[in-house]
Chains A and B, each alone.
Chain A
């Protein structure tokens, strides 16, 4: 129980500290090989690439809606209790959230088929962790202010909605130019779940009303659950001083929870200058079978304190009425633990874009005189400029979230490509991002970040991310 309460506290505190997932700068950035990870149907322009292990793709992103670190912790001389009351308790809703993700490419590579140059294969392995925590509004009010003088106010237990996952992903994808103006891609992913914590789809309420007999009646109607996989082993390793890294490695290399997923993508040239793209990522699930511990609190009870109704109570004058009451509540709303396996679905991501290429035609980024697309395919690289819009959506426990991005991309011959984005989503309406791909011979270095206007005071930012990586790219023909 103490461990569970501790865990719940960590999840709640996670609202204050954790990290979103839209890679709007990377999306459709053809000069960067890792762009294939967000659209397996991207138009590939190289013959092979090899990411430098562990540094080919490093990505972290964090987002908070409604509240920033600076709102609470700025050294402004204001009373923190008043700030918490004004800026969190009285301002945030149960739809406000903190979410975040990190990804590190362990291995990443790709090569064009010699047999059929229209096919490009990609493969690799990456580790990913994400955390998502909605502001538990009613529970926060209950914890901060209590139930006193709130007759008839229902504290909604559904406000507790938090999840986190740490997985290792082994992937293999195929990208194929079907026609001159159509490229399709698909990727299979084998997940190995390392750690999973999830408390979602809770329901019920706690309410205080006038009593029927006594002064007050407290009612709890609860259907709550916390599912964990890998947590006990992690805590035990931590307690025993054994290697947490070893445990992660073991569970990450298919010693954890198995899972399967797919990515799909498409690029279609409407005409020589206009391109539309789309992708669906992480259509998949994990089956949690190892080191599973679940906690449930399910039932309903209404109490009005200890009730002695004479003369009936005289039948058993030695009854321990307090213990009887406690036992009755525990029977009506049992807190239980089980080890039942469970399934968790990956958060599905959706990207789409439309791009218009214009300006003076230049040379392609590289001399990819690939004979499989002699005259057409995506000719955007032959234009210096691109402008367009992207739509992003991700499936979340409280419904899908959307982000709309406008972008401008500029190419400087074979060496340098810059992309600027402007994104609007629930976290910020003023997210300006920049990305750069620098090509020095076979070496490709890229770096990107977003919500740059917030860099003046990163602590006051609702959204921040960075991504960088180093690859070796071969532009030689097969």
Chain B
């Protein structure tokens, strides 16, 4: 070391500390980053016992409209990419049933509907998946849905009682939507 002047050593040192380089970075790649999580949750559950159906002296008909703003929340409506709605219907009553789901807009117009014919028990659980988006029905249905109407018609009598325990008709549904976050 004694042959290297200290000033040269210091200069070399500083040069070393201050010298660095970096490979080329492309921060524009952020524009290509797709953050598209898929969220799923239940939508609607309706449970109707057979004795309620039998209380109706005529042909039982039940129809009710539920306010449902989950889909047309601005964030969902603006960013939904595609999705699937799953229906599961279970009938343990002694009656065949006709059940219709309808998606309604703010004005009450029907945007989409799904009809199910259920045999009297014993019958299998009916499951159906409806796709929305490029490979399915229009996403505008989802974006504009403000309410859901469920209508049920008894296609059988109003006296019989199923031998199964707690005879009931169950309507279950869930949604799985892919959302664009980035």
CA of A69 to CA of B25, assembled, Å = 8
In the complex, residue of chain B having the shortest beta-carbon distance to the beta carbon of A77: B26
CA of A455 to CA of B18, assembled, Å = 9
In the complex, residue of chain B having the shortest beta-carbon distance to the beta carbon of A413: B6
CA of A75 to CA of B32, assembled, Å = 13
Q: Is B39 a contact partner of A306 (Cβ separation < 8 A)? A: no
Residues of A with C-beta under 8 A to B62 = 310
Q: Which residues of B, 11-31, contact A by the 8 Å Cβ criterion? A: 13-14, 16-17, 19-27, 29-30
Q: Is B67 a contact partner of A447 (Cβ separation < 8 A)? A: no
CA of A70 to CA of B26, assembled, Å = 9
Judged by a CB distance under 8 angstroms, whether A307 is at the interface is yes
Q: A435-478 toward B: CB 8 Å interface, digit per residue (1/0)?
A: 01010000000011100100111111000001000000000000
CA of A322 to CA of B42, assembled, Å = 13
Q: Which residues of B, 22-79, contact A by the 8 Å Cβ criterion? A: 22-27, 29-30, 32-35, 37-49, 52, 62, 64, 66-70
CA of A18 to CA of B172, assembled, Å = 47
Judged by a CB distance under 8 angstroms, whether B9 is at the interface is yes
Q: Would A74 and B25 be within 8 Å (CB), given that A211-B42, A308-B44, A308-B46 are in contact?
A: yes
Q: How many residues of B contact A (CB 8 A)?
A: 55
Q: Is B33 a contact partner of A84 (Cβ separation < 8 A)? A: yes
Residues of A with C-beta under 8 A to B29 = 72-73, 80
CA of A310 to CA of B6, assembled, Å = 92
Judged by a CB distance under 8 angstroms, whether A320 is at the interface is yes
Q: Is A412 a contact partner of B70 (Cβ separation < 8 A)? A: no
Judged by a CB distance under 8 angstroms, whether A434 is at the interface is yes
Q: Is B42 a contact partner of A217 (Cβ separation < 8 A)? A: yes
Judged by a CB distance under 8 angstroms, whether A216 is at the interface is yes
CA of A456 to CA of B174, assembled, Å = 53
Q: Would A323 and B40 be within 8 Å (CB), given that A74-B26, A143-B35 are in contact?
A: no
Judged by a CB distance under 8 angstroms, whether B1 is at the interface is yes
Q: Is B24 a contact partner of A306 (Cβ separation < 8 A)? A: no
Q: Would A457 and B10 be within 8 Å (CB), given that A81-B33, A322-B69 are in contact?
A: no
Q: How many A-B residue pairs have CB under 8 A?
A: 170
Residues of A with C-beta under 8 A to B27 = 73
Q: Is B13 a contact partner of A418 (Cβ separation < 8 A)? A: yes
Q: A406-445 toward B: CB 8 Å interface, digit per residue (1/0)?
A: 0000101101101000000000000000101010000000
Judged by a CB distance under 8 angstroms, whether A387 is at the interface is no
Judged by a CB distance under 8 angstroms, whether B88 is at the interface is yes
Q: Shortest distance in angstroms between B89's beta carbon and chain A's nearest beta carbon?
A: 11
Residues of A with C-beta under 8 A to B49 = 310-311
Binding site secondary structure of chain A: mixed
Q: Shortest distance in angstroms between B100's beta carbon and chain A's nearest beta carbon?
A: 15
Q: Is A70 a contact partner of B23 (Cβ separation < 8 A)? A: yes
Residues of B with C-beta under 8 A to A412 = 1, 6, 9
Q: Is B16 a contact partner of A434 (Cβ separation < 8 A)? A: yes
Judged by a CB distance under 8 angstroms, whether A207 is at the interface is no
Q: Which of A125-133, A144-152, A239-247, A275-283 contacts B (4 or more CB under 8 A)?
A: A144-152
Q: Is B43 a contact partner of A416 (Cβ separation < 8 A)? A: no
Judged by a CB distance under 8 angstroms, whether A362 is at the interface is no
Residues of B with C-beta under 8 A to A448 = 17
Q: Is A143 a contact partner of B45 (Cβ separation < 8 A)? A: no
Q: How large is the interface on A (under 10, 10 to 19, 20 to 34, 35 or more residues)?
A: 35 or more
Judged by a CB distance under 8 angstroms, whether B176 is at the interface is yes
In-complex Cβ contact of A303 among B19, B26, B42, B66 (8 A):
B42
Residues of A with C-beta under 8 A to B24 = 74-75
In-complex Cβ contact of B47 among A79, A213, A410 (8 A):
A213
Q: A273-292 toward B: CB 8 Å interface, digit per residue (1/0)?
A: 00000000000000000000
CA of A415 to CA of B10, assembled, Å = 10
Q: Is A148 a contact partner of B32 (Cβ separation < 8 A)? A: no
Q: Is B179 a contact partner of A215 (Cβ separation < 8 A)? A: no
Judged by a CB distance under 8 angstroms, whether B86 is at the interface is yes
Judged by a CB distance under 8 angstroms, whether B117 is at the interface is no
Q: Shortest distance in angstroms between B121's beta carbon and chain A's nearest beta carbon?
A: 18
CA of A167 to CA of B166, assembled, Å = 67
Q: Is A305 a contact partner of B174 (Cβ separation < 8 A)? A: yes
In-complex Cβ contact of B21 among A218, A307, A458 (8 A):
A458
Residues of B with C-beta under 8 A to A74 = 23-26
Q: Is A146 a contact partner of B67 (Cβ separation < 8 A)? A: no
Q: A55-88 toward B: CB 8 Å interface, digit per residue (1/0)?
A: 0000000000000011011110001110010000
Q: Is A415 a contact partner of B35 (Cβ separation < 8 A)? A: no
In-complex Cβ contact of B17 among A84, A147, A434, A460 (8 A):
A434
Judged by a CB distance under 8 angstroms, whether B164 is at the interface is no
CA of A24 to CA of B95, assembled, Å = 81
Q: Would A146 and B33 be within 8 Å (CB), given that A304-B45, A306-B43 are in contact?
A: no
Q: Is B174 a contact partner of A216 (Cβ separation < 8 A)? A: yes
In-complex Cβ contact of A305 among B9, B25, B173, B178 (8 A):
B173
Q: Is B22 a contact partner of A457 (Cβ separation < 8 A)? A: yes
Q: Would A416 and B6 be within 8 Å (CB), given that A309-B47, A447-B14 are in contact?
A: yes
CA of A402 to CA of B59, assembled, Å = 77
- The 7 tightest CB contacts between A and B, nearest first, are A146-B37, A305-B42, A455-B20, A148-B38, A214-B42, A75-B26, A214-B45
Chain A residues proximal to chain B, CB less than 8 Å: 69-70, 72-75, 79-81, 84, 142-149, 208, 211, 213-218, 303-311, 313, 317, 320-323, 410, 412-413, 415-416, 418, 434, 436, 438, 447-449, 452, 455-460, 466
Chain B residues proximal to chain A, CB less than 8 Å: 1, 6, 9-10, 13-14, 16-17, 19-27, 29-30, 32-35, 37-49, 52, 62, 64, 66-70, 86, 88, 150, 170, 172-174, 176, 178-179, 181
30 contacts between A and B (CB under 8 A): A72-B29, A73-B26, A84-B33, A143-B37, A144-B35, A208-B41, A214-B43, A214-B44, A216-B42, A218-B42, A309-B45, A310-B62, A317-B64, A322-B68, A410-B1, A412-B6, A412-B9, A415-B6, A418-B9, A434-B17, A436-B14, A436-B17, A438-B10, A447-B13, A452-B16, A455-B20, A455-B21, A458-B22, A459-B22, A460-B23
